[in-house]
Structure 1
């Protein structure tokens, strides 16, 4: 009977599910992974709750890097951050398929395998989204002096964009809040960034901007308006370069 492992939709939960399936020596058609809150019941399947732990996740990470290589690990990691409900089964299927080929480090070349093709596509989708957010993220200064950005990504891209801004703003105190997934990255000046989840955020405090920030926003909106030529606006082309769902947290598109 096919066994479905149910876990949280995060790296720790997904890798813990992979760990359990791997340890029980399940084959590709005998196991799948589903996420709590989005389980689609199937006939003739056994559903098992996964006991999640950092130890399991680290063990799977080391297993992938040792047998599949670092490049394949990052492909699988990015796929795990996507919003696709079938990503868990695709990742597990890719790892199980790697056991059948002579050189497991070349698993991502086997695009004829549906699981590998799925991971390849999800990796590209998440990488592209993270790249866009590196360009479109806008920081705003709170009255406390902390720089804050609020984003609504489709995928869990915080760990992809955090190193980029930590490298460019090492002396600043800043935070990026993922409103979609209820997670945020916090960076303290001259220290490493940390990922925080499961903590209630006071939204009101994130909207208390400093006077200089409000003045800068006013000037920037005025600048954007002054350089635009209404007769030459091409809204279709504008949406190609700046999709509508990126504009929700951009100063120049706020009223």
Structure 2
């Protein structure tokens, strides 16, 4: 039967749904993460996450899908677009049916979604590795805020855990209210319900404030006002990134 399904919004939850669908050879009408907009929708069947089922499917797909295809499946889950779950499921089915040849069917909407999402997400994560500005806090941690379009915070960990492996740092995804914290040995994700950005400056180390001011003055003095072009700036760096920079681009 074609039904509507919901889950807890995690990758493990989505794979639990996929496990049941594949087992019953079923193609659903829709799959949605459980949130405030659909929590009381009666025609959605909620599937409880089971680690045993999600782990089984994860290992099954890793063994039966091409490594690049499997990576696309995992990365596409980080997209914020609607219908991603159904598109990912159909993409998996087509790859299993065609022995990893789904990308040849470029006119199919879900194949285009997977490939465009993969490019968008990996591109954004790569850009952020060069754009993130860490700021030293009084407790010795380095803090950086980001406002990404996609949920890329975990993709940033491999880069910064290698480059700054002797430092303690945290990356705060302001759009999703979660922080990736690295203590020099291991990492954790924490969700922050309330955060007042206006009070953040009070936590900065005095030396951090001094160097921030130096950088702002340097940026201001190096600017050629006659050649300032905000449209070009926005083309190379979307507005959502500006608020996380130390320098004031709007001035």
Output the TM-score relative to the length of structure 1: 0.87
Aligned-residue CA RMSD (Å): 2.5
Q: How many Å separate the matches in 2 of 1:106 and 1:248?
A: 42
- The residue that corresponds to 1:120 in the other structure is 115
Pairing of 1:200-211 with structure 2 (within 5 A): 200=193, 206-207=200-201, 208-211=203-206
User: Structure 1: 5+ residue runs without aligned partners?
Assistant: none
Query: How many residues are aligned here?
Result: 247
> How far 1:199 moved relative to its partner?
5.4
Instruction: Give the distance between the partners of 1:7 and 1:159, measured in 2 at CA.
Output: 21
Alignment-derived partner of residue 249 in structure 1: 244
Shift of 1:51: 0.4
Once the two structures are superposed, the pairs formed by residues 72-151 of structure 1 within 5 Å of their partners are 72-101=69-98, 103=99, 105-151=100-146
Whole-Å Cα distance in 2 between the matches of residues 126 and 39 of structure 1? 26
What displacement does 1:144 show? 0.6
Question: Could you tell me how far 1:120 is from its partner in structure 2?
Answer: 1.1
Residue 4 of structure 1 corresponds to which residue in structure 2? 4
Q: 1:64-89 CA deviation, whole Å, 9 max, x = no partner?
A: 21111221111111110011021101
CA contact (8 A) 1:138 1:250 kept: yes
* Cross-structure match for 1:67: 64
Kept in 2: contact 1:2–1:46 (CA 8 A): no
2:20 maps to 1:23:
no
The TM-score with structure 2 as length reference comes to 0.89
Q: Is the 8 A contact 2:179 2:191 kept in 1?
A: no
**What's the counterpart of residue 34 of structure 2?**
36
Pick the aligned partner of 2:221 from 218, 226, 231: 226
Q: Tell me: CA distance 1:95–1:241, structure 2 relative to 1, closer, same or farther (3 Å).
A: same
Q: In the TM superposition, what whole-angstrom CA distance separates every residue of 1:122-164 from its partner, at most 9, and x where no partner exists?
A: 1111111111211211111101110011111121101111111
- Say whether the 8 Å CA contact 2:64–2:96 is kept in structure 1: no
State the match for 2:173 in structure 1: 178
SS in 2 for 1:181: coil
Question: Equivalent residue of 1:145, what SS?
Answer: coil
What CA distance in whole angstroms lies between the structure 1 residues aligned with 2:16 and 2:162? 31
* Aligned equivalents of 2:4, 2:238: Cα separation in 1: 36
CA distance in 2, matches of 1:53, 1:218: 51
User: 1:90, 1:119 within 8 Å by CA — same for their partners in 2?
Assistant: yes
Deviation at 1:211, TM superposition (A): 0.1
The answer to whether the Cα contact below 8 Å between 1:11 and 1:81 also exists between their aligned partners in 2 is no
